């Protein structure tokens, strides 16, 4: 009976997902109506599964899930909600995409109760597949454009000139802020050191969910990666640097007396994690973020700014670093700018020394529903990371 329920709902999910993807592609947003429909469907099938479980305990069904499954399912729901909220609050996805991910992620163990990574890592596997496939498409799209511009003799103006100019700017900034960059690296390493220490100290029997959290460094990567724009100012603050130095001092003193055999192992692991995270940040947020946004960027000037417009990552960074806006862009979600933010931009453009000043806007947003849907389907049908498919010997 349970297999029948899962197979029927797999077909229902496929149809619902296609409808959501079509809506996202045509309207560049996912409506609450579609999300509510998905929620109703998931509650209905969950009720059917629970009824089948109860019937099984009374001997009326031979193919059912034990009540233990629903405890694990609750863990997965929790992590899926956390994942969706982080991607919305981290200004990666608009609210509609985040809600679609939460519902779709929650439905995976309903369609396959034995999905790999269930309950605590399944949402990460789905996210990995979603972003890897989207990134591969973005890179392919980018190099197709490069090849086209090369054939038309526009490669220098379209790409190389801009890349060289931005690289020169970055090198100048790096040269002036070497100490700040070193402090930032130490501060990030302190997070991983603290995590490794907690991982060593926490009793593995506290709770299943807590013990799994402290075993999985990738959860820290996930939170830092997608919330980086929100927490970067903390890592760049002096109090964090002082705290990090104090943490390392306390660590070496305690380690010398209480765990000398693991002292350098944990220390090295913290810095390896910091270096890995830095590489992920450079490739994932800087390079892929640029490639994904490139196709949607348009320029808008004074008189053209409207609420609901989506700013490019570059524009958001400029506004956040500009004291004129007094923190008005600390929160700049992918649902679009507010009326107050639009008015502030209009005022800034009108008072700009360059009367023709314009800012980067993402035209129509970036429909991500397709990639969420494909990420869920790939995870559901293969229970693998997409990277294992393209790099089988990895």
The pLDDT tens digits of the residues spanning 231-289 come to 888 888 889 889 999 999 999 998 888 888 888 988 888 888 888 888 887 777 666 66
Give residue-wise pLDDT tens across range 289-310.
Answer: 666 676 677 888 888 888 888 8
Alpha carbon distance 390, 393 (integer Å)? 9
Spatial contact of 101 and 93, defined as CB atoms under 8 Å apart: yes
**For 365-374, b where at least 16 C-beta lie within 10 A, e where not — what string?**
bbbbbbbbbb
CA 325, 326, 331, 335 dihedral sign is: negative
Q: What are phi and psi of 310, to 5 degrees?
A: -110, 120
pLDDT at residue 80 tops 90: yes
Spatial contact of 34 and 19, defined as CB atoms under 8 Å apart: yes
- The three-point CA angle 306-131-184 to 5° equals 80
For residue 13, what pLDDT is reported? 93
Tokens at 137, concatenated = 């498409």
For residue 202, what pLDDT is reported? 58
For residue 162, what pLDDT is reported? 60
Give residue-wise pLDDT tens across range 115-132.
Answer: 888 888 899 999 989 988
Phi/psi zone of residue 25: left (φ > 0), alpha (ψ -120 to 50 degrees), beta? alpha
Spatial contact of 266 and 197, defined as CB atoms under 8 Å apart: yes
For residue 237, what pLDDT is reported? 86
For residue 119, say if its preceding peptide bond is cis, omega within 30 degrees of 0. yes
Q: What confidence tier does 199 reach under pLDDT thresholds 50, 70, 90?
A: confident
Beta strands (DSSP E) in 247-340 are: 297-301, 310-311
pTM for this prediction:
0.80
Neighbouring CB atoms inside 10 A of 242's CB total: 11
Tokens at 273, concatenated = 């994690």
Spatial contact of 109 and 76, defined as CB atoms under 8 Å apart: yes
Tokens at 311, concatenated = 């700013």
Q: Point out which residues pair with 19 in neighbouring strands.
A: none
Residue 216 DSSP code = -
Give residue-wise pLDDT tens across range 5-62.
Answer: 888 888 999 999 999 999 998 888 899 999 999 999 999 999 999 999 999 998 888 8
pLDDT at residue 330 tops 90: no
Spatial contact of 17 and 104, defined as CB atoms under 8 Å apart: yes
Map 2-60 to HEC letters: HHHHHHHHHHHHHHHHHHHHHHHHHHCCCCHHHHHHHHHHHHHHHHHHHHHHHHHHCCC
Distance set, CA 94 to CA 98, 211, 328, 334 (Å): 6, 32, 19, 4
- Averaged pLDDT score across all residues of the chain: 82
Mean pLDDT of 344-359: 89
pLDDT at residue 393 tops 80: no
**For 95-126, b where at least 16 C-beta lie within 10 A, e where not — what string?**
bbbbbbbbbbbbbbbbbbbebebbbbbbbbbb
Distance set, CA 88 to CA 83, 93, 95 (Å): 9, 5, 6
pLDDT at residue 220 tops 80: yes
Is beta strand 297-301 parallel, antiparallel or unpaired with respect to 358-362?
antiparallel
Task: Out of 94-103, 283-292, 352-361, pick the least confident.
Answer: 283-292
For residue 215, what pLDDT is reported? 54
Mean pLDDT of 86-95: 89
Q: What are phi and psi of 171, to 5 degrees?
A: -65, -40
């Amino acid at each position: 009976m349970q297999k029948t329920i899962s197979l029927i709902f797999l077909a229902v999910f496929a149809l619902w997902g296609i409808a959501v993807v079509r809506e996202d592609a045509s309207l560049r947003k996912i409506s609450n109506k579609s999300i509510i429909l998905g929620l109703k469907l998931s509650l209905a099938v969950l009720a059917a599964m629970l009824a089948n479980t109860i019937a099984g305990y009374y001997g009326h069904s031979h193919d059912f899930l034990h009540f233990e499954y629903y405890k694990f399912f609750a863990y997965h729901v929790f992590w899926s909600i956390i994942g969706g909220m982080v991607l919305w609050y981290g200004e990666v996805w608009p609210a509609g995409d985040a809600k679609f991910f939460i519902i779709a992620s929650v439905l995976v163990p309903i369609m396959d109760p034995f999905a790999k990574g269930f309950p605590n890592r399944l949402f990460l596997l789905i996210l990995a597949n979603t972003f890897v496939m989207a990134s591969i498409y973005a890179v392919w799209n980018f190099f197709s454009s490069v090849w086209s511009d090369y054939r038309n003799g526009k490669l220098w103006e379209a790409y190389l000139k801009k890349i060289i100019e931005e690289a020169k700017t970055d090198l100048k900034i790096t040269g002036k802020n070497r100490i700040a960059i070193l402090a930032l690296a130490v501060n990030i390493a302190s997070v991983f050191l603290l995590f490794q220490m907690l991982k060593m100290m926490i009793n593995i029997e506290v709770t299943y969910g807590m013990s799994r959290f402290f075993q999985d460094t990738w959860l820290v990567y996930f939170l830092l990666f997608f919330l980086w724009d929100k927490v970067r100012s903390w890592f760049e603050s002096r109090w964090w640097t002082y705290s990090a130095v104090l943490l390392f001092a306390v660590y070496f003193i305690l380690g010398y007396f209480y765990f000398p055999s693991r002292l350098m192992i944990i220390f090295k692991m913290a810095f390896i994690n910091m270096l890995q995270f830095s590489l992920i940040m450079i490739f994932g947020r800087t390079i892929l973020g640029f490639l994904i946004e490139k196709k949607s960027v348009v320029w808008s000037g004074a008189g053209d700014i409207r609420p609901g417009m989506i700013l490019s990552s570059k524009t958001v960074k400029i506004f956040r670093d500009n004291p004129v806006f007094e923190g008005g862009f600390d929160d700049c979600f992918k649902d679009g700018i507010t009326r107050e933010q639009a008015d502030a931009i209009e005022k800034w453009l009108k008072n700009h020394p360059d009367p023709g000043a314009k800012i980067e806007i993402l035209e129509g947003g970036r429909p991500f529903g397709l990639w969420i849907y494909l990420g869920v389907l790939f995870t559901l049908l293969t229970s693998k990371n997409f990277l294992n498919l393209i790099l089988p010997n990895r």
